[in-house]
Structure 1
Amino acid sequence: QVAGIVAHHRIATIAEIRKGLQFPTAHRFQNGADDPSLASTSTSISGNKRKSSSSATDTVSGSNKRQRSDSQKLIRKLSIQLSSSTSKTKPTLSVPSEDLWEDRIYSCLVISPAGHVISEFRTIEQLLEPMRDAIKAHQSLFLTGKILHRDISPNNIIITDPETADGFKGMLIDLDMAKAQNSGPSGARQITGTIQFMAIEVLRNIDHTYRHDLESFFYVLLWMCGCQSWHNGFSGNKKAPQESVFQQWEIGSFSQIVMNKKGNMSINFEIVLEEFPEKLKALEPLCWKICWKIRDILFPYHEKVIIIGTPEGDLEQLYRPIIAAYDEAITDLYRLQHR
């Protein structure tokens, strides 16, 4: 359920790349806490590790009048730098400054089995079954392997051929940001994620938990249904909307995105579902049913307020009902197709 490593090649280290460089005068480099340009923004965009196959981000962001380079049009990898030049408090997502000078290794991995990113799904089965198997992989990785993935996005969920993948139709890849339970800091200079799919509490700098990854899986499902599906043959005779609620998940400050996601997961959830294209709406009872079920599992209400935190107790208490919701939807889909 988690792809295995076939080959590994070490390419270079930062120290090797910098070796031999000489400068006539010393230069004082700024970190996030020193840089006043970060006072008015909450994000800085880092390079993508792989090109996204999704065309949905381009369309959803189409109304944004800022010109973007090709790399900025891809699903955006986010290097978080929250800081305030007017506050004496430590930047909320900063790490010890010595990490800025850590020698990092650039390497290449070959994994097996091969697959397609989840955004290339062409049928509902190709969406639901790989999503379910990827969640099962996360469950095994976390509960048995004691490793938390921390970077759930469409690029890290692949559709696999069950004949070459031990019967699995989906797998979880890319453990670059993974962290062993009870370990110290990962060593990465900045906390990294994909902004559209980051959990609300992660955006608020609350310690990353397994529930946050499950929340990210849910955002991937909604994004695939309400955004990507328009480009995958589900649009019918209509074009993808130029403006979408999904824009609110990737544009603006962290606090704005937090408010948008909280609203979308509570009183405005049905508005999110209304963005599904016609061919998905033809399966509306099925698609809406699984989305409502998972929404209620992850965001239960208490005194008319949604709960966004990680529950105490049994670590299976969220995995079980979410996987069951996928199983039920897949079973209903097969019944619908063969009745």
Structure 2
Amino acid sequence: MLTGLEHTVKMKENLAIDYEHFLTGNLKFMALERLMIFSLTGEVIRRTCRHDLESFFYVFIVGCIEYEKVSESKDNSMNDWCRKDLKMNFMCKAYDVMSSEMLEKFTPSFEGLKGLGIILRKILFNYNGKYIETPEDCGPLYQRMIKAFDKTI
């Protein structure tokens, strides 16, 4: 279960404040668009279903890379995605996500999921690596991701 204690900033005198004014969520799993906009303008954009699916993709990727302990010679961390400098955080994550090197970091227990990682990346970022904006109807996007998992399982 993922939790976010940063949501506590929304409370003031026991009244909920509009969460859209806060950049909430774990930086390691935050969608690129939200990181980019905030790092460039300081503005928080509304979180969408597409951002949630992208965050889920990052949880999947990080799990496949960091879950299993491997030899110290192999870098199996995504610590650059946790930098306090949000612009650097964005740049490191964008590079990693679009790079085939990211899949090479999968630990041995998760080697069989590299194909799924490629498919999920194509669903979220298209075949040419361009960011896909949130569609009006997220149903087809959800269905494509579910289908990818079903085929893998």
Q: TM-score, normalised by structure 1?
A: 0.37
Aligned to 2:109: 279
C-alpha contact (below 8 Å) 1:200/1:308 kept by paired residues: no
Distance 1:195 1:77 in 2: 13
TM-superposed CA distance for 1:263, in Å, is: 1.2
Q: Indicate how the Cα distance of structure 1 residues 315 and 245 shifts in structure 2: closer, same or farther if over 3 A, else same.
A: same
Aligned to 2:52: 213
Aligned to 1:65: none
Aligned to 2:126: 300
C-alpha contact (below 8 Å) 2:81/2:92 kept by paired residues: yes
Q: Which has the higher strand share?
A: 1
Aligned to 2:40: none
Aligned to 1:309: 133
TM-superposed CA distance for 1:308, in Å, is: 4.2
C-alpha contact (below 8 Å) 2:65/2:77 kept by paired residues: no
2:13 to 90, 103, 108: 103
Aligned to 1:327: 150
Aligned residue type for 1:218: F
Aligned to 1:166: none
C-alpha contact (below 8 Å) 2:64/2:106 kept by paired residues: yes
Q: Any stretches of 5+ residues in structure 1 without a counterpart?
A: 1-48, 50-75, 80-98, 106-183, 232-237, 331-339
Counting only pairs closer than 5 Å after superposition, residues 110-259 of structure 1 correspond to structure 2 as: 185-186=18-19, 190-203=22-35, 204=37, 205-228=44-67, 230-231=68-69, 238-239=70-71, 243-244=75-76, 246-259=78-91
Distance 1:324 1:227 in 2: 25
Q: Are 1:291 and 2:124 counterparts?
A: no
Distance 1:249 1:197 in 2: 8
Distance 1:318 1:308 in 2: 11
C-alpha contact (below 8 Å) 1:78/1:195 kept by paired residues: no
Aligned to 2:41: none
Q: Which has the higher helix share?
A: 2
C-alpha contact (below 8 Å) 2:106/2:114 kept by paired residues: no
How many residues are treated as equivalent by the alignment?
143
3-state SS of 1:289 partner: helix
Task: Find the structure with the greater CA-based Rg.
Answer: 1
Q: Indicate how the Cα distance of structure 1 residues 317 and 241 shifts in structure 2: closer, same or farther if over 3 A, else same.
A: farther
Aligned residue type for 2:61: L
Runs of 4 or more above 3 Å deviation: 76-79, 240-245
3-state SS of 2:34 partner: helix
C-alpha contact (below 8 Å) 2:57/2:120 kept by paired residues: yes
Q: Deviations over 1:268-300 (max 9, x none)?
A: 1x211111122333x3xxx11111111000011
Distance 1:253 1:77 in 2: 20
Counting only pairs closer than 5 Å after superposition, residues 45-64 of structure 1 correspond to structure 2 as: none
Q: Deviations over 1:211-233 (max 9, x none)?
A: 000000000000110111x14xx
Q: Any stretches of 5+ residues in structure 2 without a counterpart?
A: 38-43
TM-superposed CA distance for 1:206, in Å, is: 2.5
Q: Indicate how the Cα distance of structure 1 residues 256 and 248 shifts in structure 2: closer, same or farther if over 3 A, else same.
A: same
